[in-house]
Chain A
């Protein structure tokens, strides 16, 4: 402690040993300031920040040069979210003692981090804006703004308190209590917080209060007083009986209200929900059904195309492997050629193989053969057709002479096929058909004889027979 008059360090005496000034009162003031600082420090250490502020303010009112008290006041302000007030205290502290002052570090810490300083300023602005909203009766906006403030600075006690007050005004007691509890965690001794919390607690536990009041009311209702002359008659009321009746009545009313709520509020909602569920299920089932129908259609198309393909392939296979197919024909030709190579004079065997190669008479379409097959066949026929024609003509002629026209027809046909200059074969074939009663075929053959062999005896005889047939019809 130094003398206010000369700046000398003071001793235990009540006067300055340097200038002799009376410092007894001055010392008391300084001691009181220090005591208040200690009090503030104690309170701050147990988080009674409001109490600490009060003590520290008093301390620096007594002695503005109490740097520790001022710095601590700044620190407490900062802890409560009042950053500008804190800065103010630290700046004054810095001016009073520029060197060896922890306030320098605090100020540097804030000023060096520009983003933090901007954040603090924005938070304060938002708080002020929220307060303005409250004054403008826009409490919803104020709540939103305060929530933003607290998300940026969760230790802003005044913002918590204002938010709690707004919640209390809208009777959101639980929310208000939560905010106030947060306040209490930051500043345990705040009287505003305590007052609000008391109110909120009172509102959140109305039963006990109401019970107390109802009991009192009941006790006052239990007796009936009336005046009879100069006497006051007090008549007790049978409370038990009344209570039972009223309980039953209340129970009945409760049941009616419950049923009413169930019928008019819950039931329609349930029905609506059930309908919605059914519709959703139906829609899902329809969608599945559509998807399955589409799949079935697709599969049917596939089956159809595969069936067609199968038919085509079957017919191709039949064409390749059937009794009249190319394979058999090829085999027949090979066998015939082999027989010819083995014994060229064995016409009967060759004829047998050639007959196997003949197309079916059932009218099935003729199988197309390869060029090599046709070439081989033609070359082979040039070698054997004359002998085959003679062989078949011999067989057909014999059958014709013996009257076996049925057997003669195919042989004569083959004879004419292998030798189309054989007029006799064709003429006898016509005769066979005529004798067999197949006049149409006979007429056709006779006409062919007349066309292919005009001016011959066979042609004139064919003309005669043709005329006879026509006359018969």
Chain B
């Protein structure tokens, strides 16, 4: 049996056109590739530090 109140909570207001720019700028565009690159770079730095 579906609970109306609970179901209603799952609906959120849609973004209006005026809010689109803000939403786009506020979006975190970091992807897994970025994280991986950071990890590789950090690992590389660590290796270099250890070698020194």
Contact = CB atoms under 8 A, between A and B. Distances in A.
B33 A62 contact: yes
Contacts of A65: 31, 33
B29 A29 contact: no
B31 A61 contact: yes
Contacts of B14: 82, 84-85, 124, 127-128, 158
Contacts of A131: 11-13
Contacts of A4: 33, 37
A26 B2 CA distance: 44
Nearest to B4: A169
A80 B51 CA distance: 56
Interface stretch (A191-199, A402-410, A433-441): A191-199
Contacts of B36: 25-26, 29
A327 interface: no
Contacts of A169: 4
Given A87-B20, A135-B8, A64 B13 contact: no
B34 interface: yes
A195 B2 contact: yes
A88 B2 contact: no
A420 interface: no
Question: Among B16, B18, B34, which residue has the most Cβ atoms of chain A within 10 A?
Answer: B16
B20 A162 contact: no
A95 B41 CA distance: 26
Given A64-B29, A88-B27, A199-B2, A117 B11 contact: no
Contacts of B10: 192
B31 A60 contact: yes
A62 B29 CA distance: 10
A192 to B, nearest CB: 7
A61 to B, nearest CB: 6
Nearest to B29: A64
Contacts, number: 92
Interface in A141-183: 158, 161-162, 165, 168-169
Given A124-B15, A128-B16, A131-B13, A92 B29 contact: yes
A124 B16 CA distance: 6
A127 B15 CA distance: 10
Contacts of A196: 2
A466 interface: no
Interface residues of A, number: 42
Interface residues of A, dominant DSSP: helix
B2 A117 contact: no
A63 interface: yes
B49 to A, nearest CB: 18
A22 interface: yes
A125 interface: yes
Given A121-B16, A121-B17, A124-B17, A64 B31 contact: yes
Given A26-B36, A199-B1, A88 B15 contact: yes
A120 interface: yes
Contact of A165 (B7, B19, B37): B7
Interface in A103-126: 117, 120-121, 124-125
A91 interface: yes
Nearest to A202: B1
Contacts of B15: 84-85, 88, 124
A60 B33 CA distance: 10
B11 A162 contact: yes
B22 to A, nearest CB: 10
A351 to B, nearest CB: 126
A88 B20 contact: yes
A120 to B, nearest CB: 7
A29 to B, nearest CB: 5
Nearest to B13: A128
7 contacts: A33-B33, A62-B32, A62-B33, A64-B29, A64-B33, A88-B15, A168-B4
- The 5 A-B residue pairs whose C-beta atoms are closest, nearest first, are A64-B31, A84-B15, A128-B13, A121-B17, A169-B4
Interface of B: 1-2, 4, 7-8, 10-20, 23-24, 27, 29-34, 36-37, 40
Given A60-B31, A63-B31, A121-B16, 11 more contacts: A26-B40, A84-B14, A84-B16, A87-B17, A87-B20, A91-B20, A124-B15, A127-B14, A162-B11, A195-B2, A199-B1
